[in-house]
Amino acid sequence: MVIKVLGTGCASCKNLENATRELVAELNMDASVIKEEDIMNIMAYGVLRTPGLVINEKVVISGRVPSKSELKGILEKHSS
């Protein structure tokens, strides 16, 4: 599974990246987490508000940082 955190480096973007990396490790998932900071690449996903979360090239969150439990559910849903 490929997970991309979209964001230019704001605090919310960093929080989402950190939470995602922690949960991937905690859940022992076979996933790579990539931080995408290039605004043109972010816009190519149709994300107008960051942070964004993309799993296997599908935007699953945009414009907010989910709670840890919500993020865990999203990752588990897309891992199967």
63: exposed, middle or buried (Cβ count in 10 Å: 0-12, 13-18, 19+): exposed
Tell me if residue 10 is catalytic. Answer: yes
Tell me if residue 13 is catalytic. Answer: yes
Catalytic residue among 3, 5, 13, 16: 13
Helices and strands, counts by H and E, the chain? 3, 4
Q: What are the tokens at 32?
A: 């790579």
Catalytic residue among 2, 10, 25, 48: 10
- The Cα 37–Cα 64 span in angstroms is 16
Residues belonging to the active site:
10, 13
